[in-house]
């Protein structure tokens, strides 16, 4: 555990209501740790786009979980991370844990900024989230029974967000993880077409996978009035990060937690049981 015994350590979880942040908050609280949720609607608001909120949110904080929104790959992210790390150091923060992405040059730049900022650090570098099929951009596609995406034949070792949260909590609360870069993946790589087939089998539904060109994918998102910045980010991810460079699995979960990472099949089984993928009216 941390060596700070002068006060009850307080952890700021940015993105504290998001996919990974909410799970980090829950696990920290379950373990008896004090948490400040970093969100625009929190008692002490935190907003990545309003730097005036940073110092108040960082005051009295021992460690920070950094989940930059919308993604470290977007323009301006390195500058924001550099300024935030400086603000954290000025506020007396001791430790930063950065949620990062695999295969993103901008994310690697942000990692280096955190590593060089003068504070204790841990990098949690993740593959594509399994939960994007149930809590993210592709949920509606699965429910509708037709998942149309631009890379059906490129394997991706989808990572379970529970693994991300557990590694992040370990890094936030145990100094043994200081200076570590944990690259997290699931235990096997599947194509998006194979992932959709596993979801279809678990839900006992017909769910088609339809391969698209990137041009048609962008056109479809635009037709559905997806915000332009989201369209740009998804196009970047499918054209760059999901081009096969990240297909190899890693042992990051094993190194951090001493256990194997959760398989996509476990995610599918548990998620199907919630009914989130049921067809309308089912």
Given a cut of 90, whether residue 279 has pLDDT beyond it is no
Domain 10-129+160-185+248-261, what fold? Rossmann fold (3.40.50)
* C-alpha 53: how far from chain center: 22
pLDDT digits (tens, 9 = 90+) for 89-122: 999 999 999 999 998 999 999 999 999 999 999 9
Given a cut of 90, whether residue 137 has pLDDT beyond it is no
- What number is the average pLDDT over the span 245-255? 97
- What number is the average pLDDT over the span 242-258? 96
Domain boundaries, the chain: 10-129+160-185+248-261
pLDDT digits (tens, 9 = 90+) for 164-177: 999 999 999 999 99
Entry pTM: 0.94
Lowest mean pLDDT among 152-156, 159-163, 203-207, 267-271: 152-156
Residues 6+ apart with CB under 8 A from 68: 14, 15, 48, 77, 80, 81, 99, 110
Lowest mean pLDDT among 58-62, 90-94, 127-131, 224-228: 224-228
How confident is the model at residue 29, as a pLDDT?
98
CA torsion 131-135-140-143 (nearest 10°) is 70
How confident is the model at residue 7, as a pLDDT?
64
The average confidence (pLDDT) of the chain is 94
Identify which has the larger pLDDT, 76 or 3. 76
- Is the backbone peptide bond immediately before 27 cis, with ω within 30 degrees of 0? no
Q: What length is written for the chain?
A: 282
pLDDT band at 151 (very low <50, low <70, confident <90, very high): confident
């Amino acid at each position: 555990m941390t060596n700070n015994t002068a006060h009850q350590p307080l952890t700021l979880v940015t993105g504290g209501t998001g996919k990974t942040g909410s799970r980090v908050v829950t696990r920290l609280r379950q373990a008896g740790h004090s948490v400040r949720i970093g969100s625009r609607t929190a008692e002490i608001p935190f907003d990545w786009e309003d730097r005036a909120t940073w110092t108040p949110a960082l005051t009295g904080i021992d460690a920070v979980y950094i989940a930059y929104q919308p993604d470290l790959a977007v323009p301006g992210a390195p500058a924001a991370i550099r300024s935030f790390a400086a603000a954290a150091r000025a506020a007396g923060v001791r430790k930063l844990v950065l949620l990062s992405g695999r295969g993103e040059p901008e994310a690697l730049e942000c990692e280096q900024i955190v590593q060089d900022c003068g504070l204790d650090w841990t990098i949690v570098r993740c593959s594509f989230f399994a939960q994007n099929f149930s809590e993210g951009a592709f949920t509606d596609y699965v429910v509708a029974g037709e998942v149309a995406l631009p890379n059906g034949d490129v394997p991706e070792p989808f990572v379970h967000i529970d693994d991300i949260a557990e590694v992040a909590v370990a890094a936030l609360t145990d100094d043994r993880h200081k200076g570590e870069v944990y690259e997290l993946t699931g235990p096997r790589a599947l194509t998006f077409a194979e992932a959709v087939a596993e979801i279809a089998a678990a839900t006992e539904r017909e769910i088609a996978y339809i391969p698209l060109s990137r041009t048609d994918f962008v056109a479809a998102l635009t037709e559905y009035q997806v915000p332009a910045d989201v369209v740009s980010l998804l196009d970047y991810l499918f054209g760059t990060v999901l081009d096969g460079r990240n297909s190899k699995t890693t042992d990051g979960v094993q190194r951090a937690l001493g256990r194997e990472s959760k398989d996509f099949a476990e995610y599918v089984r548990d998620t199907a049981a919630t009914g989130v993928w049921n067809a309308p009216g089912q």
